[in-house]
Amino acid sequence: MYDVDRQGLCAIEERMHRLSGEISDYLEAEGRIHTGFDDRDRIRKQKEKILALYGADEKDWENHAWQLAHRFTTSEEITKILPLTPEGQADIDQVGACYRYAVSPYYLSLIDPDRPDCPIRRQAIPDPAELLPFGEADPMDEVGSSPETGVTRRYPDRLIIKVTNQCGMYCRFCQRRRLIGEHDQHTAPAVIDRAIAYVADHPEIRDVLLTGGDAFMLSDEQLESLLSRLRAIPHVEILRLGTRTPVTLPQRVTPALAAMLARFHPLYVSTHFNSPAEITPESERACRLLADAGIPLGNQMVLLRGVNDDRFVVRKLGQQLLKLRVKPYYIFHPKQVIGTSHFWVRLEEGLEIMDSLRGFTSGLAIPTYIVNGSGGLGKTPLLPNYLLYIGRDKAVFRNWEGQIFEIENHA
């Protein structure tokens, strides 16, 4: 023990009181930001409506193949579960004539039918704002970064292989909506062969990400074959898989899948939660299966207007993800993809959110804010300005509370 005089004790108590006050606004708001655990009764009722619609049972619901086969793809189907006006149905039909949509029964059950601004609804249900003529089909110039069909390479030591155009649910903000056609299809075997040959011919490639679409749309056997072929290349050190199925189709993550993936360590999974409303007992189970198999999980959130452009929503999401053993990895500034302008936010808004995290939540819960360089120039981190001045002898900073301090700058 050490002695603290009365004056020092009063100063400590004052600081502790101030720290408690720093978080009072979040504690007040946090209860209004629901997760799927909070809303499980409402979700259960929607699930029962969907099961009754298809004459299905719990065994069907837990089968990801059934979920895929019964995705909602027409306004007539959707309105049987969600209240839509005739105008609302017509809006969906108009967007659907231009952009494909499909929503898994599971993800549809998460939508609050009484909230037009439900963050799940905004991500899943077509919006007439998608027809606004702003943005580009391929703002990241994936075509110009493709040495082989299906391969995207922007960095010296790593690349992406797109293995399918299929997803469990087609997000309305998708950066690759140009690749979602009338039919789901996996990448042709000959294209995969050339992609793997490209990796084998370039010994500087040490990290390969399989994505799409969604890599988990491949069968266990297809994934195992791909991973085996890549793992057989001596210079490939890291294997990564990009999937949103823990969020939109958690039934896809099974004990058999997790056990198979565990054979290919070091292997990482990147997933994509955008809202605390997406965190449910089912998504928790999917993440637990992967984490228990020793697979590190990282989350790549996209900053979206009306979904998560709120400092408290992002803070709660990060904290909830850590409970699932998912590390908040990136916050992506929204890409200017055509048909997604209603989701765009300003850079200042993203920086304000980042500034609201440092010091107010665990460092583990703080992702990196990323802007993708136009024309395929790669990921660029964007940080609030904590360094105010750097000189020959000293540097001046501000901390998370806005207090100014300096340190000596000597070798």
> Quick one: pLDDT at residue 143?
86
CATH code at position 349: 3.20.20.70
In a domain, 287, yes or no: yes
Is residue 118 domain-shared with residue 147, that is, in the same domain? no
Type of residue numbered 156? P
3-class secondary structure, 341: helix
In a domain, 398, yes or no: no
User: What's the rounded Cα separation, in Å, for the pair 155 and 379?
Assistant: 10
Is residue 200 domain-shared with residue 124, that is, in the same domain? no
> Quick one: pLDDT at residue 9?
82
> Quick one: pLDDT at residue 181?
67
> Quick one: pLDDT at residue 1?
47
- Look at residues 131, 159, 194 and tell me which one is the last residue of a structural domain: 131
In a domain, 15, yes or no: no
Angle, helices 347-357/311-323, rounded to nearest 10 degrees = 50
Is residue 113 domain-shared with residue 161, that is, in the same domain? no
Is residue 264 domain-shared with residue 285, that is, in the same domain? yes
In a domain, 179, yes or no: yes
Domain with 80, as residue range(s), is 40-131
Is residue 249 domain-shared with residue 345, that is, in the same domain? yes
Residues of the chain with pLDDT under 70: 1-4, 181
Prediction pTM value: 0.93
Cα dihedral value 151, 152, 155, 159, nearest 10:
-40
> Quick one: pLDDT at residue 300?
97
User: What's the rounded Cα separation, in Å, for the pair 276 and 43?
Assistant: 14
In a domain, 245, yes or no: yes
Is residue 212 domain-shared with residue 185, that is, in the same domain? yes
The answer to whether the CB of 141 falls within 8 A of the CB of 376 is: yes
> Quick one: pLDDT at residue 3?
63
User: How long, in residues, is the chain?
Assistant: 411
Is residue 186 domain-shared with residue 99, that is, in the same domain? no
The total number of structural domains that make up the chain: 2
> Quick one: pLDDT at residue 354?
97
Non-local CB neighbours of 409 within 8 Å, separated by 6+ positions: 390, 391, 392, 393, 394, 395
The answer to whether the CB of 171 falls within 8 A of the CB of 179 is: no
Residue with tokens 């439900």: 118
Is residue 290 domain-shared with residue 215, that is, in the same domain? yes
Residue with tokens 């979040």: 26
Is residue 191 domain-shared with residue 58, that is, in the same domain? no
Residue in 181, 175, 115 with CA at minimum distance from that of residue 304: 175
Is residue 237 domain-shared with residue 377, that is, in the same domain? yes
Q: What is the DSSP letter of 333?
A: P
User: What's the rounded Cα separation, in Å, for the pair 304 and 112?
Assistant: 18
